[in-house]
Chains A and B, each alone.
Chain A
Amino acid sequence: MVSSAARPLQDQKTLVTGGSSGIGAATARAFARAGAAVGVNYRSKASAAEELVREIRDQGGEALALQGRRLARR
C-alpha cells in the first residue's frame, strides 16, 4: 500500500488547464502520482488528453478529460 505521505494530495480534486501536453501534462501526471483526482482540460488536443487520462487511470489514478476553449465570466 502506498503511504499517505507518498500521496500528499489524496482526495484532492484538481483541474489542470492546458493539461493535454507539455508542462500541463507533466503537472497532471505529478498531481495524479500525488493522489489527486485530475481534470485534464484541453482546447483542441482531445486524443492527447484522452491518452493521458488512460495513462493515469491505468496506474490507478482518477482522471477526466474536459474540453474548454474559453472560460467566460459568470
Chain B
Amino acid sequence: MFDGLDEAFGRIDILVANAGIQKDAAITNMSLEDWRAVLSGTIHPSPRTSQAQLGPGTHAAQIVEQLVAPARQPRIAPSARACQLDAFVAADLPWSTEQNDNTVGEHQRLVDIVGDEQHGWPIIAPDLEQVFL
C-alpha cells in the first residue's frame, strides 16, 4: 500500500489513522475478548503505523469514534498522550454509519486543526484533553 502511495504522491504528509474494528455498539454487551480486540484494532495501530511505516516529519492524527452510544453508555477512550499522535479528535457522532457519512462537523474540525499552522504540531485540542485525560 505504501509503495502505491509513494508512486502516486511521492510522500505522505498526514496520516489519519481511522481504521478500526467494532464488535458491538454497547460495552455492556461485549466480552472481555471482544473489548480487547476493539481496543487493539482501533487504538494501537496508529502509533505503530506512524512509527513503522512513515518517515520522519509525517504527521499523524486519529479520529476515535465513541465506542458506545451517547447518552446511554459512558464515554470510553484511551489517554491521548499515550497514543503519541499529533492530533487526536473525538468524533461524537450519532450511532449510525449512515448518519456518520452525513455528519461533517468533527471531520471538519480535524481539517481545521491540521490546517491551522498557528497550532503547529504536536497538538491535542484543549477540550479533548478534558475528555480523554
A31–B104 CA distance with the chains assembled, in angstroms: 11
A contact residues around B97 at 8 Å (CB): 21-22
Q: Are A30 and B53 in contact (CB under 8 A)?
A: no
A contact residues around B11 at 8 Å (CB): 13
Q: Are A74 and B52 in contact (CB under 8 A)?
A: yes
Count of A interface residues, CB-CB < 8 Å: 35
Count of B interface residues, CB-CB < 8 Å: 40
A43–B1 CA distance with the chains assembled, in angstroms: 11
Q: Are B1 and A16 in contact (CB under 8 A)?
A: no
A16–B8 CA distance with the chains assembled, in angstroms: 15
B contact residues around A34 at 8 Å (CB): 111, 115
B contact residues around A1 at 8 Å (CB): none
A contact residues around B5 at 8 Å (CB): 13, 15, 39, 64, 66
Q: Are B53 and A64 in contact (CB under 8 A)?
A: no
Within the complex, which residue of A17, A36, A71, A72 is in contact with B18, where a contact is CB–CB below 8 Å? A17
- Tell me how far the C-beta of A26 lies from the nearest C-beta in chain B, rounded to whole angstroms: 5
The residues in B between 99 and 130 inclusive whose CB is less than 8 angstroms from any CB of A are 100-104, 106-108, 110-112, 114-116
- Tell me how far the C-beta of B127 lies from the nearest C-beta in chain A, rounded to whole angstroms: 19
A contact residues around B115 at 8 Å (CB): 8-9, 34
- Tell me how far the C-beta of A62 lies from the nearest C-beta in chain B, rounded to whole angstroms: 8
Query: Residues of A at under 8 Å CB distance from B?
Result: 8-9, 12-19, 21-27, 29-31, 33-34, 36-37, 39, 41, 43, 64, 66-68, 71-74
Query: Residues of B at under 8 Å CB distance from A?
Result: 1, 4-5, 8-20, 45, 48-49, 52-53, 63, 65, 91, 93, 97, 100-104, 106-108, 110-112, 114-116
Q: List 29 A-B contacts (CB under 8 A).
A: A8-B111, A8-B112, A8-B115, A8-B116, A12-B13, A12-B14, A13-B14, A14-B16, A15-B15, A17-B17, A17-B19, A18-B18, A18-B20, A21-B97, A22-B100, A23-B63, A23-B93, A23-B100, A24-B16, A26-B103, A26-B107, A29-B104, A30-B110, A39-B4, A64-B5, A64-B8, A66-B4, A67-B1, A74-B52
